[in-house]
Structure 1
Amino acid sequence: MLKILRFLFAIITISFALYGMLSDDFSYAPLMLLFMGGAMLVMGIEEYKNNKKVLASLLVAVCVFTFYTSFEILLR
């Protein structure tokens, strides 16, 4: 289940990134960051289940920072 969710978040993130690069329209960048944060969170959960707690905590910290950045941009 987590692999599917991670794959889905990654595909959505790549789609938003490609759209922004090809059209020079970066209005969807906050959504891209939001989905990238979701992918990082899922990866952190997977690493926590594999008993790699240092890497898991780093991924969750990156996720929190990415979510904060995304919400900060969205609320402007």
Structure 2
Amino acid sequence: EQVVKVTINGTNDAATIEGDTEVVASETDAALSLTGTLTATDVDNADNTFTATSKEGSYGTFSIAENGEWTFVAN
């Protein structure tokens, strides 16, 4: 009987984020609202999702859903 020892040194490859990463808007009298979609690709995790969140900042509120759809509403 022989024992075979296998050692695997894995690497956590970073996800690649693509999609609507730059949006240009012109200020008008109407309320400013922008939308887009992001996608994530990761060889280590085929079931990529985003963490749904909404954050208010100095210029407005940015929200993103688990599926990558995002919205920015200026204040």
Provide TM-score, normalisation by structure 1: 0.31
Query: TM-score, with normalisation over the residues of structure 2?
Result: 0.31
Find the structure with the greater CA-based Rg: 2
Structure with the higher strand share, 1 or 2: 2
